[in-house]
Amino acid sequence: MAAAKETVVESVKMADGRVVDFPGKKRLQKDSFIAEDGSVSVRCDFRNGETLSITLAKEMLAKYAAHGAEQKLGDEIAGVEDIDDAVLAVSDLIDRLNKGEWTVARESNGMAGTSILLQAIMAVKGLAKEKVQAYLKDKTQAQKIALRNSPTFADKVKELEAAKAAGKKPIDVTAELAELDALA
């Protein structure tokens, strides 16, 4: 396996005398500041030594906040291919934000494949979606993969994945069997 390339950092002396580090190809460093009077400003340092700043207009703070929330929620699904996994990832982020957790270290694509596992557990165990979501929330990707591959859920996972790949809603075999039992 090839060794990872070390990121080159360029230290740039800004026009105001500060020194700012720019890693790799990064051209812009942004910092935000909240003053004692509650005013908010953002400073943009460019790799060429220039600096631009803005103090946000108080009458526009809600608009700025809304834009930031939209961006944060959208960023959460970067690299998540499956739409159902994307919904779970954003739902998980909303829960964390509601608890005041802005930055939480978590596995990249930690929701990948979770929607199928969620559906499989619901179908096999007959549990409500909210209960299964709460159960899966703190599981690592390795734990989720182990559950997906377990004898208890593997067949249902395969069935759901095949139906999804075919673009069709999976058939609820349990309901079909119950309907047949009712005929007897």
For residue 174, the enclosing domain spans 77-183
d(CA 160, CA 90): 22
| Whole-number Å distance between alpha carbons of 107 and 97 | 17
Res 22: pLDDT:
96
Question: What's the total number of domains in the chain?
Answer: 2
Domain shared by 40 and 109, yes or no: no
* Whole-structure pTM value: 0.54
Distance (Å, rounded) from C-alpha 174 to C-alpha 155?
A: 13
- Judgement on whether residues 84 and 49 belong to the same structural domain of the protein: no
Residue 157, in any domain of the structure: yes
Structure-block tokens of residue 154? 């593997």
One domain, residues 152 and 109: yes
Is residue 42 located within the same domain as residue 102?
no
Tell which residue, 126, 115, 174, 176, has the closest CA to residue 148.
Answer: 115
Residue at 2 is within a domain: no
Same structural domain, 31 and 114 = no
Residue 39 CB contacts under 8 Å (≥ 6 apart), including other chains? 55, 56, 58
Q: Kindly state whether residue 67 falls inside one of the protein's structural domains.
A: no
Same domain, 108 and 25: no
| 27 and 106 fall within a common domain | no
Position 109 scores a pLDDT of: 43
pLDDT digit string (tens) for the chain, length 184 residues: 566 788 899 999 999 999 999 999 999 999 999 999 999 999 999 999 999 999 999 999 999 999 999 999 998 888 888 788 888 889 889 988 998 988 765 444 455 567 888 888 888 888 888 888 888 888 887 888 888 888 888 888 888 877 777 766 666 777 777 888 888 7
Task: Measure the CA–CA gap between 63 and 57, rounded to whole angstroms.
Answer: 10
For residue 83, being part of any structural domain is answered with yes
Question: CA–CA separation, 54 vs 32, rounded Å?
Answer: 10
Helix ranges (H only) for the chain are 61-75, 83-98, 114-125, 129-137, 141-149, 154-165, 173-183
**Residue burial 6-23, b: 16+ Cβ < 10 Å; e: rest:** eeeeeebebeeeeebebe
Answer yes or no: is 5 within a domain. Answer: no
Same domain, 84 and 119: yes
Same domain, 141 and 174: yes
Q: Does any domain span residue 170?
A: yes
Look at residue 122 in the predicted model and tell me its pLDDT. 86
Q: Looking at the structure, do residues 42 and 87 belong to the same domain, yes or no?
A: no
76 vs 114: CA distance, rounded Å: 15
Q: Is residue 69 part of a domain?
A: no
